[in-house]
Amino acid sequence: MTNDIVIDVRDYNLYYGDFHALLDVNLSIKKKSVTAIIGPSGCGKSTLLRGLNRMNDLIDQVRVTGEIFIEGKPIYAEKRDLVELRKKVGMVFQRPNPFPLSVYENVAFGLRLHSHLSKEEVAQKVEESLKAVALWKELKDKLKAPALRLSGEQQQRLCIARLAAMSADIFLMDEPCSALDPVATQHIEELIRVLKEDYTIVIVTHNMAQAARVSDETAYFYLGKLIEMGPTDQIFTRPARKETEDYITGRFG
Ligand SMILES: Nc1ncnc2c1ncn2[C@@H]1O[C@H](COP(=O)(O)OP(=O)(O)OP(=O)(O)O)[C@@H](O)[C@H]1O
Ligand SMILES: [Mg+2]
């Protein structure tokens, strides 16, 4: 394993009760890159994403075999600290889900809960995190405003800032633009391109043009199996597998 690999999924199977949702998945994700996960509805994209920070553990009757290594460490190891794991590997959802608190508190809340930073240090972190998602200029005079009054795009940025403040360096994004209009979508795509200088991003998207625009690598899933993964331009122009070609050319899915 070379050290530019940050996520390594090995022989990973996931069952919801009797239903075998992911079948023998093997894939590697490079540090500071954007990986798109594509495939028709129900193929297991969200399931895989939730596996990467063990959020599936919260669902009843989930059983897993195989292993996922994050920076070389097995996440299913017995003594793995899940709070730490989920701080490091943060999830961004379809619908932005800021807390019903002020802009400032959305970022500061977790910091106070999980760290021993002084008031000044918290303020510093809040500023850095809002800068990382290009919200600082827009919101520095509105830090006390309720987050729920922000636009959808701003809320989504704020949710990313909240993760960045907690020192996440892997962002899992499950259709992060599906509740946004085309202009906001374009802005979030720009943000993703900026973020990958410092962060590793795994994005699930139904929008193939989006996958082609933002990602370095693309993984195509069908019925719980990884059919093909490779450099995005190759997957979209010269896929190795017929199934992938049928999907990306819109012949099904
Ligand atoms: N909590 C659950 N309990 C039982 N089955 C589930 C659960 N969540 C998902 N599944 C099933 O697992 C399969 C994969 O679901 P998943 O949500 O991962 O697909 P997806 O690729 O994200 O689909 P979509 O594009 O519609 O979001 C589907 O057949 C789904 O019905
Ligand atoms: Mg999904």
pLDDT range class, residue 187, cuts 50, 70, 90: very high
pLDDT range class, residue 253, cuts 50, 70, 90: low
pLDDT range class, residue 78, cuts 50, 70, 90: confident
Task: Say what the pLDDT of residue 2 is.
Answer: 56
> How far apart are the CA of 242 and the centre of ligand 2, in A?
23
What global pTM score does this model have? 0.94
DSSP 180: S
CA-CA distance, 11 to 66, in Å (whole number)?
5
Task: Say what the pLDDT of residue 79 is.
Answer: 87
The per-residue pLDDT for range 196-232, each reduced to its tens digit, is: 999 999 999 999 999 999 999 999 999 999 999 999 9
H or E stretch including 16? strand 5-16
Q: Is the pLDDT of residue 158 over 60?
A: yes
Average pLDDT over residues 177-206: 94
Residue type, 66: G
Nearest to 49 by CA among 62, 63, 32, 35: 35
Q: Is the pLDDT of residue 1 over 60?
A: no
CA-CA distance, 183 to 165, in Å (whole number)?
26
Q: Is the pLDDT of residue 77 over 80?
A: yes
How many CB atoms lie under 10 A from the CB of residue 52? 21
The per-residue pLDDT for range 23-35, each reduced to its tens digit, is: 999 999 999 999 9
Nearest Cα residue to atom 16 of ligand 1: 44
CA-CA distance, 61 to 23, in Å (whole number)?
17
Average pLDDT over residues 178-192: 93
Residues 6+ apart with CB under 8 A from 1: 8, 28, 69, 72
Q: Which residues pair with 212 in a beta bridge?
A: none
Q: Is the pLDDT of residue 91 over 80?
A: yes
Nearest Cα residue to atom 2 of ligand 1: 16
For the CA of 50, the nearest atom of ligand 1: 18
How many CB atoms lie under 10 A from the CB of residue 237? 10
Provide residues with CB under 6 Å of ligand 1. 16, 19, 21, 39, 41-47, 59
Query: 82 near 70, Cβ under 8 Å?
Result: no
How many CB atoms lie under 10 A from the CB of residue 124? 12
> How far apart are the CA of 199 and the centre of ligand 1, in A?
27
Average pLDDT over residues 47-52: 98
Nearest Cα residue to atom 30 of ligand 1: 42
Q: What does the mean pLDDT of the chain come to?
A: 95
The per-residue pLDDT for range 115-130, each reduced to its tens digit, is: 889 999 999 999 999 9
Q: Is the pLDDT of residue 165 over 80?
A: yes
Average pLDDT over residues 39-44: 96
pLDDT range class, residue 172, cuts 50, 70, 90: very high
Sheet holding 5-16, edge to edge: 19-30, 5-16, 62-70, 73-74
For residue 184, the SS3 value is: helix
CA-CA distance, 132 to 191, in Å (whole number)?
9
What are the chain's domains? 5-248 (3.40.50.300)
Calculate the alpha carbon distances from 10 to 23, 25, 177, 235, 253 in Å: 11, 6, 29, 22, 27
